[in-house]
Structure 1
Amino acid sequence: MWNVRAVVERFPLDLGTADPAEVIDAFTTGKNPMRARPLIVSTSGRLMLPHPALNVIAVRENLEEHLKTSQSVWDQYSKHRGDLLESRTHDALNRVLPGARFRDAFEYYLPANAQEAETADPAKYTKRVEGDHLIVLDDVAIIVEDKAVALSTLARGGKTTRLRTDLTRIITKAAEQSGRMRDAIQRDGGLRIEDEDWSISAISARSTPSPSASTTSRPSSPRPPRWYGPACSPPTTFPGQCPCTTSS
């Protein structure tokens, strides 16, 4: 009985301080009062859930609101959400790219300043950044960046301008990160991956005999990778001008 009462107290719809006109105006601008608190409770204690489709959204938003009251707990939750997205992305791509080699949630090095960039020696780079997925199949390399980012309340409520703003921000960030990795591979002929020294997997996939093979010496005259993207059909071979970046 206590558990039922706790749920009811967490999700009740409270319209006691609003008149019907205010509720309708809020609803038409994307502020649905039932999105986070969908339970209608009568004065006698009887309950009604107008539509079961409201359940998942209400539970998620309420729990996230509660988790944010503790920064350490919220950080754990955010990490779990990101890890889950990376795992499901890997599984989805693995189904459609059998035989491909995956690197997931890895770190690689970039030049930290102009001096390191001038040396063009990845062994001397000191800026460590994260990559979500690098998939190599034959001589085709695919970069995927995950974004476990929630849309704002206004965007979820259907406000198109805010939805456009949120999506633009999310997609732009992913494109910048995937483009950064693409540029590093083009510039250096590969990536220096943390704990692997020099990795040639993204460049000479045809000549690498083992899925886990890597080397500490840079390949001579590597074959440039090809990149699939929405504007590349057939895929474009680098170096060259490709108008797209494969990311998500």
Structure 2
Amino acid sequence: MTHAVADAMTMISRSVRLARRNVDTLFVSLLLPLLMMALFVYVFGGAIDTGTEYVNYVVPGILLLTTGYGAASTAMAVADDMNSGMIDRLRSLPIHSFAVLTGHVVASVARNATSTAIVIVASLAMGFRPSGGLLDWLGTIGLLLLYVVALSWLAAALGVIAKSVESASALSFIMLFLPYLSSAFVRPESMPAWLRPISEHQPITPVIETVRSLLIGTPLGDNGRLALAWCSGLLLFSIVLATSLYRRRTGK
């Protein structure tokens, strides 16, 4: 157990250093969510009626969109390791298989925490006025952390099966696209009848609605329970999937 923890810490340190050195990817993961928020708040916000100030409505969705960009970077980083010969070198060393993927996931969580903090600060400058108290913010942070970890493990699984960095980027597209079909940017009631059920019954929507309820006081309903169930289920599924695929591909 001690050896596995030491291996994980070593791979975490490596992944964090690689993330810092990959300036272009880091820059995009930090800048793109800010550009998206500015686009929706200042360009589209005036034309979208959500029954409240649009900046208050859209920030929770932008926070989840931010994690999607960070997870896509994780998939590409894992794919690069899998296809560049790095894993072949590690196979000759007594390193626990779980440690390699753990390093990428923890680096993803750290990167997402940074980008999320930047987005929150920028949103306050754009007029976001949350009404939640300390416990509401702690609940929001806890839920976002659970969601980020689950999504990062799923991204790691996609990176393992990808045959190149480019294909990893393509495979992770669903994580970037799914929030657009949720309640992130518009109310589901405003969508066409055939699209509304997709928006209302997908995993992203209850997470967004729970964050929205905690921060700006909208009705919670069953969203909190559904959000925890979706995130916990996705986390368990993604860990099992990522580790089993990694062992099958590497033989460790």
Same fold? TM cut 0.5: no
> Scaled by the length of structure 1, what TM-score is found?
0.28
Could you say which structure has the larger radius of gyration? 1
As a proportion of its length, which structure holds more strand?
1
As a proportion of its length, which structure holds more helix?
2
> Scaled by the length of structure 2, what TM-score is found?
0.27
Higher relative contact order (CA 8 A, sep 6+): 2
